[in-house]
Amino acid sequence: MSCGMSEAPRNSSTGPTEAAAIAGVPHASGTSAGDVPLEKTPLETYVPPAKPSLIGLSRAQISDHLAAIGVAPAQRRMRAQQLWHWMYVRGARTFGEMTSVSKDMRAELEKHVTVDRPEVVAEQISNDGTRKWLLRLPSGNNLEKPHEVECVYIPETDRGTLCVSSQVGCTLNCSFCHTGTQRLVRNLTAGEIVGQVMVARDRLNDWPSASSPPGEEKTHRLVTNIVMMGMGEPLYNFDAVRDALLIVADNEGIGISKRRITLSTSGVVPNIVRTGEEIGVMLAISLHAVRDELRNELVPLNRKYPIAELMQACRDYPAASNAKRITFEYVMLKGVNDSLDDAKRLVKLLKGIHAKINLIPFNPWPGTHYECSDWDQIEKFSEYIFNAGYSSPVRTPRGRDILAACGQLKSETEKLSARERQALRAMAMTD
């Protein structure tokens, strides 16, 4: 999950390290059992290339680049809007495609900036149509090879969901999650987050043709839903995630409704309400346990923000309603959190919250000591929750043959890159 959290670690008299301060992420501020840090400090910060991409910039930032190349103040707003349209409605990959922009301006832009997205290193296509892309990002350290992250597209009859990453690695150390075993390299930029959506539309040929009439650019889209459920904790990369999702939701651009965008967090409480106020997307909580002592083990961040605080933040989430329910993700671990008593506690815990529960069959990974709950136990658990009045779908595993299902992304591609790419912590909601 990911980003730039503004609040300092609790009970900390010292500031973050220099690298963490630059990245906006607090230094590890506490430990769980076995001295596992609650949070990791990023190893690198983003170093922009000599020719930065306009992808992920606000209109005001694009105007600043236009000012730098000598565009008159009276023209900047209109020219910025032109570029915005070509990038996010037409999907232009070069300035040469932007035929409504003068040749001289295109040539000048070409000298200073690009509209580049992340580089696609590899693509895998599952038997069920799921696609997984390995994307290469620049390293901030010239001695390190480029970083790589993965995003996954899950097609269904009524939607196409793109699972997007927010960090190279992850800030957190959830014990059941393969991603939690890797280091945190750095936060992704807004451009690298938006770039994953651009890449998916490129690869799926999901942009309108030049002959598409006005008003039909956004119909019959293949990418219809976005879930921030890939690598990283989104709420430890708040600013970049916010800026990226506002671009994705912009009606004059990519135009994916905020009700079709879901952000998943392990429970960074101070930024949950901010998410509702500043982004306004759907919220998902990686819960996985109903008792603090167990959640402390599964999600060590719980020691900093315990369940009671997390539930209050959910109750305070702006605009939560029956129409905009909060999703609680619950991975089913055999003999750990799957008893009928756990189901009863879960129902009691969520009382008064507009909620649905996604039950996720655990996908084992090398080295884990957890096992997936037996199917009949999952069904009993789901039935109890359903009878209590909550939607409780069991998430359908997708893309297992290309290791794109929940918790599997890292394994198959380890030979292709360094350790910073692990399995996606969660996959798209398929209910």
| Residues catalogued as catalytic | 150, 406
Contacts of 136 (CB under 8 A, 6+ apart): 118, 119, 120, 121, 146, 147, 148
Residues 187 and 167: beta-carbon distance below 8 Å? yes
If one counts every other C-beta atom within 10 angstroms of the C-beta of residue 4, the result is 18
Which phi and psi (to 5°) does residue 63 adopt?
-60, -35
What CA–CA distance (Å, rounded) separates 302 from 311?
12
DSSP string, 112-179: H-B---PEEEEEEE-TTS-EEEEEEE--SSTTSPPEEEEEEEEE-SS-EEEE---EES-S---TT-GG
Q: Which residue has the tokens 């942009």?
A: 207
3-state secondary structure of 394: strand
Reduced DSSP (H G I as helix, E B as strand, rest coil) percent helix, strand, coil of the chain, to 5: 35, 15, 50
What CA–CA distance (Å, rounded) separates 402 from 324?
32
